[in-house]
Structure 1
Amino acid sequence: MAAPLRIGLISDTHGLLRPEALDFLQGVDHIVHGGDIGGPDILERLGAIAPVSVVRGNNDTAVWAQSIPETVRLEIGGIALFAIHDLKALRPHLGPDPAALGVRVVVSGHSHKPACSERGGVLYVNPGSAGRRRFSLPIAVGELLIEAGQVRARLVTLA
């Protein structure tokens, strides 16, 4: 039996890519960055590990980030994922029922708070912030494990 697809989730690096985050992401099949990247070097370093899908965060305002989309929709292992930086901006893109559009997972960032919940058949995952610590929030990353048409998420505190 084949191993599940492993999708690394990272967000809010704000120009800091911690060694612990890089270690966690080793061996993933794909990486989704939920925005507030902080610089093109972050994407280059992540891209050396696996293909990267990325959305622009509210702090990604420099010229290098202008071509990065605000949202990304992709299919991996038969699972439709939608990424957006701020979950509060989701409704104009997917309406009130993302599942009706075939979306199974929504990945976001922005709040710096790791969170995972399922509503209406859609898994909402925010890996938290892997960059600079904000207030007393944890430094965290996440992953999606996709196998036989099923998906589950795991959040990991790094420091």
Structure 2
Amino acid sequence: MSPNHSEPRNPRINAASRDRSSVVKFLLEKGAPRSRVDINGNTPLHIASVRGTCKTVELLLTPECVVKANIDGDYPIHVAAAAGNLPVVKLLIDYMSMYKDDINCDCEPHSCKSSEEDTPLHAAAQFGQVHVMQYLLACGAKVNARNEKNF
């Protein structure tokens, strides 16, 4: 898991990576798909979750994209937590809670697991994002949750 990604390959992902919400909005209005991925399996939502503002992330939110894993097996909430983007972590948790019935995820948003069984708390801890860790713990994240490496 890394909050850094390779250079985007298409205009939609490029706009998301540069937090250009007006460009993202324009491309979406012209029919650009929210769920198309780059070479690392990142959707524009993954990319915007790293560096973006809530305004850009809100444009890209769909039940499908919020639980779409990249090639590392991480959801957008994992990359936001790893990057220390607390406003986006909060937004994703709120969205996932609000649309839980529409999202194919059987866990609480603050505890959803990647393909390696990492929770957002694991992601935040791995990159020293203490402010995100504090928020996730306040939301009820389990401090003793284990991943596949037994961490």
The TM-score with structure 2 as length reference comes to 0.29
The TM-score with structure 1 as length reference comes to 0.28
Higher strand share: 1
Q: Which has the higher contact order (CA 8 A, sep 6+)?
A: 1
Higher helix share: 2
